[in-house]
Amino acid sequence: MSQFDDFAQAYQLAAELPYRVHSVVPAMREVVGDVTGLRVLDLGSGTGTVTRQYAQWGAARVVGTDISGGMLEIARAHDGDHPNVEYMQLDGANPTNDTGLDGQFDLVSSVFVLPFAANQEQLSGFFVTARKALPPVGGRFVAVVVNPDYVRNPEDYYAPYGFTIGQSGGYEGAPLVLNVASQGAPVRFSAYWWSRETYEECATTAGFTTLLWINPTVTEEGLAKFGPEYWTAFTAAPVATILDART
C-alpha cells in the first residue's frame, strides 16, 4: 500500500496551498507552453489536480498515473466532465511495467513525484518510464521537484506556506519529512533529497539530451491576494524547482 492511500484527502488540501496555486503550477504551465492538441502523461497524478488542468488547457488526451488507488478514486470522482482524461494505477518508478503507453505521448509531467524515489534506482526508473512514453525526438519531461537548495534551517522556514520540511543528513537520498498542515494534526509524508547532479545523471542515462532548470515565480494574482511580503521568503529560496528534460 502506498503511503498516500491513507492521506488522499490531505494530499488534495496540499495541492490547494497558495504556493502551488500561485507559483508552482503556473510556473510549470509557463514552462510547458501551449499544450493544445498534445498527448500528455501526468506521472504521479495524485488526485488529478494538474491532470485535469491539462485538459482545460487544451490537451487532446491526458492520462494520469499514480501508485495510489485512493488518490485515483478521488481523481476519477472529479473528472466526469473531462472525457479526454483517463487514469491508470501504475508504479512509475518501475519502468518494466507493460502499460501500452510507450511512445504514446508528446509531453510527460510530474509534480513533486521524483522526490519520493527511495533510492537512485527508483529515481532512474521514473526517468526511464517518462522517456519510454515519449517519441525518439521532440519529447519533453517537465518535472517539479524539491529544490536541492531549499532552506533546511530553520525547519519552520516554510511554515507560512502551509508546511514544514526536515532533512536527515546532506547525502544523496537523505530522508525528508514533509509535514503538511491540515484541519486536524499535520500529515507527514516521507520523501528523499537528491542533488541536481543526481537528477541530471538519471535524466541523461535515460536518454534525455537537453536539461534546463527553472525556479518558479509568483503570479500577479498571488502577489495581489497575499501581498509581496508574504512571498519574500519563498521567492528568496523556493521549495520547488522545475527540470525541463528534452529528447
pLDDT digits (tens, 9 = 90+) for 110-155: 999 999 999 999 999 999 999 999 999 999 999 999 999 999 999 9
Vertex 31 angle, CA 77 and 95, to 5°: 60
What is residue 74's predicted lDDT score, i.e. its pLDDT? 85
**pLDDT at residue 1 in the model:** 44
Q: Is the pLDDT of residue 5 over 60?
A: no
Separation of alpha carbons 94 and 25, rounded Å: 26
Q: Which range, 21-35, 69-83, 86-100, has the best average confidence (pLDDT)?
A: 21-35
Confidence band, pLDDT 50/70/90 cuts, at residue 81 = low
What's the fold here for domain 8-148+194-246? Rossmann fold (3.40.50)
Strand order in the sheet with 187-193: 163-167, 174-180, 187-193
Is the model more confident about 206 or about 181? Answer: 206
Q: For residue 245, what are the CA distances in angstroms to 21, 53, 136, 145?
A: 23, 21, 13, 13
Q: Cα angle vertex 115, ends 114, 118, to 5°?
A: 100
Across the chain, mean pLDDT equals: 91
